[in-house]
């Protein structure tokens, strides 16, 4: 062990010598600047570095050098970054994950992020920065909530990452960032291989490389590649087998979802623009009853959606997975055009969501599908009657839904008996009454009782409420987002998340993204509120 420590002492000393000379030449103070000598720095690292000693031998140390953090220097795999350190990499783009390691959402995302990094190694890099110790770095990139994910391309901040937050979803989303926007298909075998995929496929067939429709198709593929799979061909014979003898776009639904209730291929023959193609894909890609996953649920839930949850597995048991789906589709086909869409999902993938959002117990449904409806307005309903194989119970449930006879399911804490504090406590049952009051401007904070950032904000938020307490037209409120349903329109991915619901625009809440200081809150409210603020005991220097 002694020789091991001496080995790493020597290696670290050499690396830090290079690092410090580089940092000094760039007029950047070295980390741990309060430690005077280089040897003391190393001793400090060895003393504090149980993690350092555990991890360092596994790193390909010779491939990296430590350098000051610039926008074009990003790590090649998930590591926590000191604001003055980063691992140098030559790959072109990565998603950067800004967590707070005391944040529940961050802890939930961390293992998924690590799994995705392992699968993407060699093609896409993932990295993370701990914002609790690197506040300056996170502030530079406008991070105000946790976790925040951003994509960097060629060393520059490119765009926020808005994809799914599971290992599979991150992997698929980032994998689509590599390779061509649209695959070039030359033969029928190429087409067959491309469409034989777990996901739907969009294939454009054109008369030649100079076709203006092809150029427009490729533009659309560039814009939509993160969501859908695209391919193109200049061989018109590929379309003839599918009933088309001229330029067109073929939408192939996933082969595993083939059924007797709808076509597996839909043809787009209209005038091709980016907008028209986008609408065509949106209206046809999912079909009558798609397979909802963690990755595509947000796209499906933009409409009122009924979902049947059961033990489906399209990787190992396609016929068994389609057994209940066919029974759902038989009933669903009677309600086409009524404003309700249908889907199926693997119950195991959504177990926690079903328990928290719909109060599903471990005994609910058993092997039978568990049926829910979630509307785009956030209203939720569950079918408590057992699902029957003939679909009769599902049909009765739907008749009650369309007739308005179903009672909504709401997860909510009890409405507080007393609510006389400056900061008003809101629960799901009272959200409409307080936040959506048409005569009040409301600042609402969504918090978690376990979140240290929320606790740190409490005195400032309380002072803000006291400052505006005499203003009859404004309300400062907060809601426990873990114990209450968060209404649609409020995107709460981390804590605290703060929104402003102004008078006259309750359906367009404004997210607060400034610093969490009293003056900044007041400046924001003065800009967004529909009236002149009435301040108590605060010198108006805004």
Nearest to 536 by CA among 464, 470, 472, 475: 470
DSSP state letter for 74: -
Q: Which two tokens stand for residue 75?
A: 């790590």
Nearest to 53 by CA among 1, 14, 102, 88: 1
Can you give 224-262 as a three-state secondary structure string?
HCCCCEEEEECCCHHHHCCCCCCCEEEEECCHHHCCCCC
Q: Which two tokens stand for residue 309?
A: 């949850």
DSSP state letter for 80: B
Q: Which two tokens stand for residue 506?
A: 């309750």
**What is d(CA 159, CA 153) in angstroms, rounded to the nearest whole number?**
9
- Angle (nearest 5°) at CA 318 between 317 and 322: 120
Nearest to 221 by CA among 162, 282, 274: 274
**429 to each of 153, 355, 380, 452, how far by Cα in Å?**
44, 19, 13, 26
Burial class of residue 126 (count of CB atoms within 10 Å of its CB; 0-12, 13-18, 19+): buried
Active site residues: 103, 106, 451, 454
**Owner of token pair 């787009």:** 268
Nearest to 328 by CA among 256, 388, 405, 402: 388
**What is d(CA 490, CA 500) in angstroms, rounded to the nearest whole number?**
10
Burial class of residue 15 (count of CB atoms within 10 Å of its CB; 0-12, 13-18, 19+): middle
- For residue 359, give every residue at least 6 positions away whose Cβ sits within 8 Å of its Cβ, in sequence order, or none: 382, 409, 411
Determine the distance from the C-alpha atom of residue 418 to the mean position of all C-alpha atoms in its chain, rounded to a whole number: 37
Nearest to 535 by CA among 463, 478, 487: 463
**In which element (H, E) is residue 87 found?**
strand 86-87
């Amino acid at each position: 062990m002694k020789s091991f420590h001496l080995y790493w002492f020597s290696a670290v000393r050499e690396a830090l010598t290079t690092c410090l000379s580089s940092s000094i030449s760039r007029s950047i103070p070295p980390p741990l600047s309060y430690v005077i000598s280089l040897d003391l720095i190393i001793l400090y690292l060895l003393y504090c570095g149980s993690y350092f000693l555990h991890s360092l031998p596994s790193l390909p140390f010779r491939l990296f050098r430590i350098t000051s953090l610039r926008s074009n220097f990003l790590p090649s795999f998930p590591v926590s970054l000191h604001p003055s350190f980063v691992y140098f990499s030559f790959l072109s783009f990565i998603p950067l994950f800004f967590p707070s390691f005391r944040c529940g959402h961050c802890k939930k995302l961390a293992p998924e992020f690590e799994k995705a990094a392992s699968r993407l190694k060699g093609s896409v890099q993932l990295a993370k920065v701990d914002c609790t110790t690197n506040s300056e770095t996170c502030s530079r990139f406008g991070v105000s909530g946790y976790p925040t994910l951003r994509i960097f391309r060629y060393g520059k901040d490119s765009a926020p990452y808005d994809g799914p937050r599971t290992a599979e979803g991150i992997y698929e989303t980032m994998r689509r960032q590599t390779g061509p926007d649209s695959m070039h298909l030359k033969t029928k075998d190429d087409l067959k291989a491309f469409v034989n995929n777990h996901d739907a496929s969009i294939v454009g067939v054109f008369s030649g490389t100079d076709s203006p429709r092809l150029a427009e198709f490729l533009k659309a593929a560039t814009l939509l590649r993160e969501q859908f799979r695209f391919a193109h061909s200049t061989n018109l014979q590929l379309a003839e087998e599918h009933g088309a003898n001229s330029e067109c776009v073929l939408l192939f639904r996933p082969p595993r979802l083939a059924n007797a209730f709808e076509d597996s291929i839909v043809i787009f023959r209209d005038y091709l623009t980016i907008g028209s193609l986008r609408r065509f894909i949106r209206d046809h890609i999912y079909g009558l009853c798609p397979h909802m996953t963690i990755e595509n649920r947000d796209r499906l839930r933009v409409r009122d959606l009924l979902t049947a949850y059961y033990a489906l597995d399209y990787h190992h048991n396609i016929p068994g997975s389609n057994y209940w789906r066919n029974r759902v589709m038989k009933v669903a086909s009677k309600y086409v055009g009524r404003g309700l869409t249908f889907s199926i999902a693997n119950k195991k993938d959504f177990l926690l969501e079903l328990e928290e959002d719909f109060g599903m117990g471990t005994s609910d449904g058993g092997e039978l599908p568990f049926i829910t409806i979630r509307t785009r307005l956030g209203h939720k309903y569950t079918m408590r009657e057992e699902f029957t194989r003939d679909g009769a119970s599902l049909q009765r449930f739907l008749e009650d839904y369309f007739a308005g006879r179903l009672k909504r399911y709401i997860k909510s804490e009890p409405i507080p008996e007393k609510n006389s504090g400056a900061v008003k406590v809101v629960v799901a049952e009272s959200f409409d009454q307080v936040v959506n009051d048409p005569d009040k401007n409301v600042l609402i904070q969504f918090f978690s009782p376990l979140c240290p950032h929320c606790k740190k904000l409490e005195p400032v938020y309380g002072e803000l409420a006291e400052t505006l307490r005499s203003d009859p037209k404004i309300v400062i409120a907060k809601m426990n987002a873990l114990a209450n349903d968060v209404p649609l329109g409020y995107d709460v991915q981390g804590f605290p998340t703060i929104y402003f619901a102004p008078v006259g625009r309750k359906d367009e809440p404004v997210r607060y993204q400034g610093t969490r200081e009293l003056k900044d809150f007041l400046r924001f409210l003065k800009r967004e509120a529909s009236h002149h603020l009435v301040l108590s005991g605060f010198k108006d220097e805004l």
